[in-house]
Amino acid sequence: MTRTGKSHYSETEAAEELGISIEQFRTMIRSHVVEHDDDLTNVPVTQFQPSDLLILRLLAGNRQFPD
């Protein structure tokens, strides 16, 4: 992970840091973070902290994503 000193990442920035597409990132969030797709619409702006990216990187490394 790049050390940029950022305290928060947008969804797009988080996907870029993880080296996956935004679609793959959203699939991972749906699989591991929210219980229902409706939960995604209840969050107006999603930001991720560096510690979140660490956990998501571990999850991304253990999962195969369709292209």
CB 3 within 8 A of CB 42: no
Global pTM? 0.67
Q: What is the rounded average pLDDT for all residues in the chain?
A: 77
Domain boundaries, the chain: 11-61
- What does the pLDDT average to over 28-57? 76
Written as one letter, the residue type at 54 is L
- What does the pLDDT average to over 25-50? 73
CB 65 within 8 A of CB 22: no
Alpha carbon 45 to its chain's center: 13
- Quick one: tokens of 36? 């229902």
pLDDT tens column, 50-66:
988 888 888 877 555 54
Res. 13: pLDDT tops 90: yes
